[in-house]
Chains A and B, each alone.
Chain A
């Protein structure tokens, strides 16, 4: 509770500051405008209003994390406006590399950093300016959950979390003061299924290519993630055991794609999807009964009253994590606003909001403070729900007595088999992926 009080105080302080800073000028300007005073008067007032009150942060990321409620709440708390630029996962990386001036805050996945950091387009975030920096879960800093190491195949966040200096283009092996991305959300992905249409237990990644689901399966068409799902299937089928699924050799890529092509040619896939909403529609309409899926997409299908399970599988999970980065060119008021947003984000309200969608937040204790004990017990501790569980929009997504798929935070995040990755042979991999699409 102490945390809660502090954060509320902080929020009020900021509001108070804004009021002071705006002062008489702002309200005078508003009155003038309302009265419809001479245009000249309005023009002379405007620059002051802009500079003091209206900071707009252009927030580049995927639609999944860009929730209107978060932007509204942040604006209400601080007066800073968030302007979302929603694009696909691939597009985020592309813009971060080619157009770093087109956004003020970057929300991207850790695996993209291997492409972005060498360009020098984002700078290290100063841990000293992040209030909760030392409370970020050790999964990111040391790769541990509940004191136990988890799988680090692929681009595990701990490998790319720190920079050697603020404007360094090289990752640091051990924690430093400069953080590449401040984690926003992360999760461990698995297959989503429609239990009402499948009618039998699903236990292994191998089921994705099971002939039982011919014409009713789907896979992600984001090559760097889709190939990881395919690799989980290849291992589950016992075809091959990869030394590192997140960094395949050309021969390993060939083998993985060959498996996919064979499945595609025999009509296994109904569709491929690239966008969160596509996966929701495929599942909700019953076009697909088993597919690689993201946790909030499962939540969304379920909030439409359709049975959908984010099925834990014996081979483990494919994990991902995304976080906030700051472009190198960001300065002055906008830079301060970006830090303010990041601090606000870690302060609990946003974390609790995201936890209720099935994500995990970076700083667990602040999020816990903003959640009801029964919610925390359901989402994070794997306990049966004491009351009906509601989505942030108020719709019931789980009846009392049910347990979350995959159990507790420790069970799920402790079961990571690999992380989303960018491979050394990325170019070759994309070329082979196009072959799969064309097959």
Chain B
């Protein structure tokens, strides 16, 4: 599926952007030649087998009927109706909308914080650290947390933030508070904190990558033209890092939209997320209902990604 798409896209790209010529392989063979097809085949097969087929199955199952212990192949919109059950009620939001709102909230907050922190760290690495070896060293340092699993990194926050945890005890001893702060753990705060802790790196890498490609003479030119550091940052660095920012955002948003582990562990299992609802439904063998939810979630995430890619042509930038 993917192969013809890329193949047909290539000539168009060449015509539209003369500058991009260097990125396209020399065309001694036509775009439809056998070697090109052979080269694209393995990836297409992987996509077909592990992406398109399962996806088609999920869509199919979302229209099936089910009992407690068996799936009944049928065609019924029942599951989708169930998902939006009660959503016509205007006095109170239905579960599905409430869940999406809460998921969007975490998504936005996590995106905002990871972006600000990720951009700052990448900026420091790209422009302040002069030597390449120190750059590499610091970059590797950033990956150290990834040596342990996500869940371990999450759970290690619990004794820190708990009612009798290190943070609360410290604050009480220093006399800042009398009573332990309850909102530190099992709250939206702890969920966002864990997300930012876990996923900032996914912002740092693509933004750093974009920044490293910025021609340093542009910065000099900006300075020579009398731009303040802020103006240089806002008018030169940020626009040229746009690809990295968008790619990082896609990483973070897709992960947070589907997450159920972090929200479960850090939210004390009592904060809703779309992923969590799907998980509960699959563990109760309500596969068609879960599939319907998954299809809706997929559609929502695809729309977000589509909107993001409107802002930048990733294919061109890479």
Instruction: Give bound CA distance, A128 to B93, whole Å.
Output: 58
Residues on A with beta carbons closer than 8 Å to the beta carbon of B270: 221, 264, 269, 271-272, 437
Instruction: Give bound CA distance, A434 to B280, whole Å.
Output: 8
Is there an interface contact between B284 and A90, defined as CB atoms closer than 8 Å?
yes
Q: Which residue of A lies closest to B98 (CB)?
A: A438
The total of Cβ contacts below 8 Å across the A-B interface reads 90
Q: Which residue of B lies closest to A224 (CB)?
A: B284
- The count of residues in chain B whose C-beta lies closer than 8 Å to any C-beta of chain A is 32
B95 at the interface (CB under 8 A from A): yes
Is there an interface contact between B69 and A116, defined as CB atoms closer than 8 Å?
yes
Contact of B185 among A91, A287, A439 (CB under 8 A): A287
Stretch of A40-48, A345-353, A424-432 lying at the B interface:
A424-432
B232 at the interface (CB under 8 A from A): no
**Which residues of A from 114 to 151 have beta carbons under 8 Å from B?**
114-116, 118-119
Decide: A271 near B284, CB < 8 A? Known: A221-B269, A264-B270, A422-B68. no
Interface string of B156-190 (1 = CB under 8 A from A): 00110011110000000000000000100110000
Residue from B163, B185, B276, B282 whose CB has the most chain A CB atoms within 10 Å: B163
Contact of A435 among B68, B95, B182, B276 (CB under 8 A): B95
Instruction: Give bound CA distance, A116 to B284, whole Å.
Output: 12
A93 at the interface (CB under 8 A from B): yes
Main SS class of interface, B? loop
Residues on A with beta carbons closer than 8 Å to the beta carbon of B70: 118-119
The minimal Cβ–Cβ distance linking A50 to chain B, given in whole angstroms, is 33
A195 at the interface (CB under 8 A from B): no
Main SS class of interface, A? helix
Is there an interface contact between B69 and A115, defined as CB atoms closer than 8 Å?
yes
A165 at the interface (CB under 8 A from B): no
B44 at the interface (CB under 8 A from A): no
Contact of A215 among B102, B182, B272 (CB under 8 A): B182
Decide: A437 near B185, CB < 8 A? Known: A91-B283, A285-B162. no
**Which residues of B from 245 to 288 have beta carbons under 8 Å from A?**
268-272, 276-277, 280-286
A-B contacts besides A94-B283, A115-B69, 13 pairs, CB < 8 Å:
A215-B182, A221-B270, A223-B280, A223-B284, A264-B270, A271-B270, A285-B162, A287-B186, A431-B95, A434-B272, A437-B270, A438-B272, A439-B98
Point out residues on B near A: beta carbons under 8 Å. 68-70, 82, 85, 95, 98-99, 102, 158-159, 162-165, 182, 185-186, 268-272, 276-277, 280-286
